[in-house]
């Protein structure tokens, strides 16, 4: 029996490495609480073809060598000098990956009138799972489109989460089982957007230590770049320069040079609302195409947030 035929060992042809920047705390947020949780939370994904899985370690090793920090065995974007941040972003943009970032302005999301349950729940685990849904909707859409074009059929993606956030894979599996059940019977709470379930399998959810997973270190580059771009009160700089360097590898719909990044490779939640932010915080979203944005093509493609 091949791996693809074994229901307990599903095969995969893509890996999505998922990391975050900021913290998922929801109760006391900056700037209202100076020592509170971050105003923004960014969840990132870096998708790599399975054939490049081993090469990812060489990519990160080359980045570490290029920074001159040869005593380090792992790459942590936040601790890098500014010129090294630009260097690793440029190097990542030269590799055959697709990058995704979900940027949540937590205060706006919690008071989003379309989903009052978000405000009532204030549960960090549920909040994290909620954001992974937006990320994996886009990742599975990309994997489906890419595998159909290159292999003629829908292939699956293994999803590797950073364990730094204390992720409970069992809870995550239960969350996606519920989503799939809702999808099957047409009663999803969010009426637009969905995972492409043929590209997803709960047994392909993993977690790994950031220090030993080179793929997660790539995802950290993406998450931290965009967090630095939109956060003012935790980073004290709100600098979009690193995130802009990732443009060549930001995911697009369609996957062509003219495809749309806004809403796909970069998604802001709950919506693009610069009137609620400092002017500098909206720069990175304008850079990548907002206020226009992509929406999942089924059942519709509305121009604004649902």
Beta bridge pairs of residue 105: 40
Average pLDDT over the chain reads 88
pLDDT confidence of residue 214: 97
Q: What is the pLDDT of residue 120?
A: 47
Distance between CA atoms of residues 219 and 215, nearest Å:
6
- pLDDT tens for 20-56 read 999 988 888 988 888 899 999 999 999 999 999 999 9
**pLDDT above 50: residue 85:** yes
Q: How many CB atoms lie within 10 A of CB 218?
A: 29
> What's the confidence (pLDDT) of residue 115?
57
Alpha helices in the chain (DSSP H): 55-67, 82-92, 106-110, 116-121, 124-151, 169-184, 214-230, 241-244, 283-287
Question: Over the stretch 240-278, which tens digit does the pLDDT of each residue have?
Answer: 999 999 999 999 999 999 999 999 999 999 889 999 999
Question: Could you tell me if residue 293 is inside a domain?
Answer: no
Query: By residue range, what is the domain housing residue 85?
Result: 17-287
- How far is C-alpha 28 from the geometric centre of its chain's CA atoms? 24
Buried b (16+ CB within 10 A) or exposed e, 53-84: eeebeebbeebbeebeeeeeeebebeebeeeb
What distance in Å separates the CA atoms of residue 54 and residue 247, rounded to the nearest whole number?
24
Burial of residue 27 (number of CB atoms within 10 Å: 0-12, 13-18, 19+)? exposed
**For residue 272, what are its two tokens?**
């693009």
Higher pLDDT, 119 or 19: 19
pLDDT value of position 113 = 60
Rounded distance, CA 172 to CA 178, Å? 10
The more confident residue out of 179 and 69 is 179
Residues in the chain, overall count: 306
How many angstroms separate the Cα of 228 from the Cα of each of 114, 232, 283?
28, 8, 12
Indicate yes or no: pTM above 0.85. yes
Rounded to 10 deg, the angle between the 82-92 and 214-230 helix axes is 120
Q: What is the model's pLDDT at position 236?
A: 81
Which residues, 6+ apart, have CB-to-CB distance to 187 below 8 Å? none
| 256 part of a folded domain | yes
User: How many domains are there within the chain?
Assistant: 1
228 found inside a domain: yes
- Mean pLDDT is lowest, of 79-88, 122-131, 214-223, for 122-131
Give a yes or no: residue 11 inside a domain: no
**What is the per-residue pLDDT for 252?**
97
- The angle that helices 82-92 and 55-67 make with each other, rounded to 10 degrees, is 150
In this predicted model, which residue has the larger pLDDT, 129 or 60?
60
**Beta-carbon contacts of residue 242 (< 8 Å; ≥ 6 apart):** 85, 86, 89, 224, 225, 228, 229
**In terms of pLDDT, which residue wins out, 115 or 11?**
11
Q: pLDDT tens for residues 143-160?
A: 999 999 999 999 999 999
CATH number for position 93: 3.30.420
pLDDT value for 304: 38
Q: How far apart are CA 129 and CA 54, in angstroms?
A: 28
pLDDT tens digit sequence for 178-231: 899 988 888 776 767 899 999 999 999 999 999 999 999 999 999 999 999 999
């Amino acid at each position: 029996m091949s791996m693809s035929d074994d229901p307990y060992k599903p095969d995969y042809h893509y890996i999505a490495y998922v990391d975050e920047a900021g913290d998922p705390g929801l109760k006391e947020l900056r700037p209202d609480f100076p020592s509170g949780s971050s105003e923004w939370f960014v969840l990132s994904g870096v998708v790599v073809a399975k054939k490049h899985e081993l090469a990812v370690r060489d990519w990160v090793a080359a980045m570490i060598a290029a920074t001159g920090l040869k005593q380090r065995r792992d790459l942590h974007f936040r601790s890098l000098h500014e010129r090294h941040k630009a260097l690793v972003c440029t190097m990542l943009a030269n590799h055959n990956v697709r990058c995704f970032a979900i940027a949540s302005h937590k205060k706006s999301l919690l008071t989003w009138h379309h989903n009052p349950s978000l405000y009532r729940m204030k549960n960090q685990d549920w909040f994290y799972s909620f954001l992974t849904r937006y990320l994996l909707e886009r990742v599975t859409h990309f994997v489906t489109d890419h595998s159909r074009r290159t292999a003629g059929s829908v292939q699956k993606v293994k999803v590797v989460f950073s364990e730094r956030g204390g992720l409970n894979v069992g809870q995550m599996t239960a969350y996606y089982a519920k989503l799939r059940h809702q999808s099957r019977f047409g009663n999803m709470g969010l009426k637009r957007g969905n995972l492409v379930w043929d590209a997803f399998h709960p047994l392909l959810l993993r977690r790994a230590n950031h220090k030993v997973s080179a793929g997660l270190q790539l995802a950290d580059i993406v998450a931290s770049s965009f967090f630095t771009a939109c956060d003012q009160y935790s980073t004290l700089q709100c600098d979009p320069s690193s995130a802009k360097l990732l443009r060549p590898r930001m995911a697009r719909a369609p996957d062509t040079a003219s495809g749309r990044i806004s809403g796909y490779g970069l998604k802001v939640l709950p919506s693009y609302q610069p009137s609620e932010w400092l002017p500098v915080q909206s720069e990175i979203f304008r850079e990548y195409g907002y206020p226009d944005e992509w929406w999942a093509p089924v059942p519709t493609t509305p121009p604004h947030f649902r």
